[in-house]
Amino acid sequence: MKITIIVFSPSGNTFKVGKMMESAFKNKGAEVQIVDSTRREMIFKQNNRAGFLDKNVSAHDVLMIGGPVYSHHMQYNLLELIKALPQPDEKWGSLAVPFTTFGTISSGEALAEAAALLRITGRKSVLGLKVDAYHCFTKKWDTRINKGMPGKEALPYIDELVAETLKLEGRNPDTVKDISDLFNYQSKSAIFKSNALLKEKRMHKYVFPKVRFDYSKCESCKKCKKACPVQCIEMKNELPMQANANACIHCAECFHTCPYDAISLNIKKYKPFLMMGAKGKGFLTSHETKKTEVFFNSSL
């Protein structure tokens, strides 16, 4: 059985889950490739997602495709990549498995959103996975949310997902059930919050604090440029700047990477909300019953 895993992973958690899947598939003798779409010029500089996919993705039976939750949604760059998938044919299988990682507060509607777009591209979502992970905003804070996750605790879930995927071997894809109804696990109030108040692009444009460079501290090391997952930092006269501030997804990778403290991003103001959310309290939390979970058709 041939498996392709595609990820978008600004701070590495979703990539880590993808790598865990890759080795679990390899251990079971499946042919597997992982394609990381993060920091890729063809996507973020040339805006050629279809070309990127065509060039990098091999023939497969099942496509596992994952990204992080941002503001209760599947991060939009992963959704854009799904939209660019060609219709299934001999190379591109018609069975898909959306997956996501999130910083314990809410996995929002990430899986449902990915599945809805996968359906438009002619694919069935036959399994799904959400993984409770390190909250990437908290890297420099004294209290970190889920530090070190995903780690060993995620392995049984990955193994379960891989075992369920391998059960599809030899099945006629037309007879396999789409299970995306299972992704509608959020309460009505959580869905209202994500759609009315936490619209991701609006959050980026108007709510999240802006990245600021302090050039008196900058040593032109270019680490921020290399770290930016959407390649929106450019060097001008040896100094970094955001060439396209609208493309910034506020992942804080530049801020966390700068060795000279020359980048400011006031994410600390969210600390009380995130800490409450991590305890399952307050406005942000979704009260979903399980954090890490594999979704599958039990009658497979």
Ligand X SMILES: Cc1cc2nc3c(=O)[nH]c(=O)nc-3n(C[C@H](O)[C@H](O)[C@H](O)COP(=O)(O)O)c2cc1C
Q: Does residue 288 contact residue 188 with C-beta atoms inside 8 Å? A: no
Tell the smallest beta-carbon distance from residue 267 to ligand X (Å).
8
> Contact region for ligand X (CB under 6 A) — 50-58, 114-122, 133-141, 289-297?
133-141
* 37 vs 71, beta carbon nearer ligand X: 71
Tell the smallest beta-carbon distance from residue 293 to ligand X (Å).
14
Q: Does 165 bind ligand X (CB under 6 A)?
A: no
Q: How far apart are CA 128 and CA 183, in angstroms?
A: 8
Tell the smallest beta-carbon distance from residue 270 to ligand X (Å).
9
Q: How far apart are CA 230 and CA 143, in angstroms?
A: 27
The token duo for 6 is 């595609």
Q: How far apart are CA 95 and CA 62, in angstroms?
A: 5
Q: Does 77 bind ligand X (CB under 6 A)?
A: no
> Contact region for ligand X (CB under 6 A) — 42-50, 87-95, 135-143, 292-300?
135-143
Q: Does 101 bind ligand X (CB under 6 A)?
A: yes
Q: Does 136 bind ligand X (CB under 6 A)?
A: yes
Question: Which distant-in-sequence residues (6+ apart) come within 8 Å of 17 by Cβ?
Answer: 7, 66, 99, 101, 129, 131, 133, 150, 154, 158
Measuring CA to CA, which residue among 215, 267, 206, 202 is closest to residue 241? 215
Which one of 44, 52, 70, 99 is in contact with ligand X (CB under 6 A)?
70
Contact positions with ligand X (CB under 6 A) in 247-266 = 250-252
Angle at 156 between CA 94 and CA 112, to 5 degrees: 40
Q: How many of the chain's residues bind ligand X (CB under 6 A)?
A: 26
DSSP β-ladder status, 73-74 and 60-70: antiparallel
Q: Does 60 bind ligand X (CB under 6 A)?
A: no
Tell the smallest beta-carbon distance from residue 17 to ligand X (Å).
8
Binding site for ligand X (CB under 6 A): 9-14, 68-72, 101-106, 108, 133-137, 250-252
